[in-house]
Amino acid sequence: MSEERKQQQRDRYLRQQKHWRSREEEQQLDEVRKARRAERRRGGASRGGAARGAEHGEAFAPMRRQHAQLTPAPKATVVPNTAEARGVVVWLGRGRARVATADGEVTARLAAELAREQQTVVAVGDDVALHLLGAADAVVVAVGERRSELARTDPHDAGRRRVLAANVDVVVLVLTAGRLRTGLIDRLRMALADVDAELVVFVNKADLEHDAAALDAALLPYRAQGLQVFVGAALTGSGVEAFAERLRGRAVAVVGHSGVGKSTLLNRLDPELQRPTAEVREKDQRGRHTTTATSLRMLADGTRLIDTPGVRAFGLEESDALAAFPDIAELGAGCRFRDCAHDREPGCAVRAAVVDGGLAAERHVAYLRLRDAGG
């Protein structure tokens, strides 16, 4: 190795160790540099490499000995979080959450990895851990394991899954007597097929004009399969008391299309928080959104009410539509082919039941519609 290369390595070493040198060492180094420059001016560059190396060795030896005696710099002190708390998410915003803890509600930031996947890995109803960094600063850092969840596909991105509510015991679907839309019952039954949560239906606005016979006929297949259906009127309170008793002490997520009276029903169940309500439009009888974000309220009797925004559609991940139609699945056991689609195949026991009157044609059409929609 050339002398120039050796000198470059020495200089680099000295630069790297500069923050360890004392004032005395700096002075010694300056003297060495001055001596080297003076040597070069005197033509000392013509000396043998061994002699120069010996000089430098003598110059640097005291510094090496002194460096070994230096006290190492203290390590940086990490200040721990002031406290750690646990609670339940009661509201979610962009990168933020409100968490109900034993000491009251706390507004907290979501850790970066959670903020990127909020409404998927963290949702209203989740049990979370948060670090309290100061009087007005907290961060949600972890999410507990869920026992159940109500989820659907993102309406703007079919490849993304959105969790409407976590850790629910009961999902309440609110429909209206005058405009019963049973398709949402089928979709929710499909969504909850592998979820440890029960579906309950509340048919609202029974105090308004409707065809009672047609309503009973439409609900009959669901009641026959054990689905619990309540019929009442949230505005007058009719039928609400028995319904409320059914939910007492449980975690309940309330869903439904806009205009079905979800907010009015929730106001009956939770009179302390009067949610805003709005009349349906006269032109098309469609509702207006009064709930814009999912939120959770803890009632004095232990009931947890999760209010969700009104849905126009409830997209589902690809699944077997038969999960929502146990009656058709039972009939399908008698089909000639094990993979019968219950559509045009010969020997289909389901289509035969429709012809014989054992299965309502509307029920069969609803199954085909949900199956062809791919969830």
Does one domain contain both 179 and 279?
Answer: yes
How far apart are alpha carbons 222 and 217 in whole angstroms?
A: 10
Is residue 253's pLDDT more than 90?
Answer: yes
Query: Is residue 315 situated within a structural domain?
Result: no
CATH number at residue 338: 1.10.40.50
How far apart are alpha carbons 190 and 324 in whole angstroms?
A: 5
- The amino acid sitting at 183 is G
Q: What is the pLDDT of residues 181-204, one digit of tens each?
A: 888 898 888 888 888 999 999 999
Contacts 24+ apart (CB under 8 A), 264-273: 264/204, 264/234, 264/235, 265/174, 265/202, 265/204, 265/234, 265/240, 266/305, 266/307, 267/234, 268/234, 268/237, 268/240, 268/244, 269/240, 269/244, 269/299, 269/303, 269/305, 270/297, 270/299, 270/305, 273/297
DSSP string, 220-241: HHHHHTT-EEEE-BTTTTBTHH
CATH number at residue 168: 3.40.50.300
Does one domain contain both 258 and 175?
Answer: yes
How far apart are alpha carbons 126 and 168 in whole angstroms?
A: 10
Helix or strand or coil: residue 85? strand
Does one domain contain both 190 and 239?
Answer: yes
- The amino acid sitting at 242 is A
Which tops the pLDDT comparison, 6 or 174? 174
Does one domain contain both 291 and 329?
Answer: no
- Cβ contact 136:177 at 8 Å: no
Tell me what pLDDT residue 38 has: 80
**Placement of tokens 């989740």 in the chain:** 126
Q: What is the pLDDT of residues 317-357, one digit of tens each?
A: 555 677 778 888 889 999 988 889 898 889 999 999 999 98
Query: Is residue 155 situated within a structural domain?
Result: no
Which of 254, 152, 249, 162 minimizes the C-alpha distance to 199? 254
Tell me what pLDDT residue 15 has: 57
Query: Is residue 156 situated within a structural domain?
Result: no
Does one domain contain both 221 and 301?
Answer: yes
- Cβ contact 326:225 at 8 Å: yes
Does one domain contain both 303 and 336?
Answer: no
Does one domain contain both 356 and 264?
Answer: no
- Rounded average pLDDT over 1-29: 61
0.85 cut: is pTM over it? Answer: no
Does one domain contain both 291 and 341?
Answer: no
Is residue 54's pLDDT more than 70?
Answer: no
Query: Is residue 96 situated within a structural domain?
Result: yes
Does one domain contain both 196 and 277?
Answer: yes
- Rounded average pLDDT over 46-71: 45
Query: Is residue 234 situated within a structural domain?
Result: yes
Query: Is residue 340 situated within a structural domain?
Result: yes
Query: Is residue 183 situated within a structural domain?
Result: yes
110 backbone dihedrals φ, ψ, rounded to 5°: -90, 135
Write down which residue in 68, 102, 122 finishes a domain.
68
Tell me what pLDDT residue 169 has: 97
**Placement of tokens 């640097």 in the chain:** 60
Does one domain contain both 208 and 274?
Answer: yes
Of all helices (H) and strands (E), which one includes residue 166? strand 157-166
How far apart are alpha carbons 197 and 251 in whole angstroms?
A: 10
How far apart are alpha carbons 54 and 92 in whole angstroms?
A: 71
Task: With cut-offs at 50, 70 and 90, classify the pLDDT of residue 157.
Answer: low
Tell me what pLDDT residue 19 has: 47
Q: What is the pLDDT of residues 282-317, one digit of tens each?
A: 454 444 445 567 899 999 999 999 999 866 555 555
Of all helices (H) and strands (E), which one includes residue 93? strand 83-93
- For 356, residues 6+ apart whose C-beta sits below 8 A from its C-beta are none
Helix or strand or coil: residue 16? helix
Does one domain contain both 241 and 338?
Answer: no
Query: Is residue 157 situated within a structural domain?
Result: no
CB atoms within 10 A of CB 298: 14
- Cβ contact 187:316 at 8 Å: yes
| Total domains in the fold of the chain | 4
**For residue 334, what are the domain limits?**
321-372
Tell me what pLDDT residue 198 has: 95
- For 215, residues 6+ apart whose C-beta sits below 8 A from its C-beta are 177, 180, 203, 231
How far apart are alpha carbons 268 and 245 in whole angstroms?
A: 12
Lowest mean pLDDT among 50-59, 117-126, 145-154, 273-282: 50-59
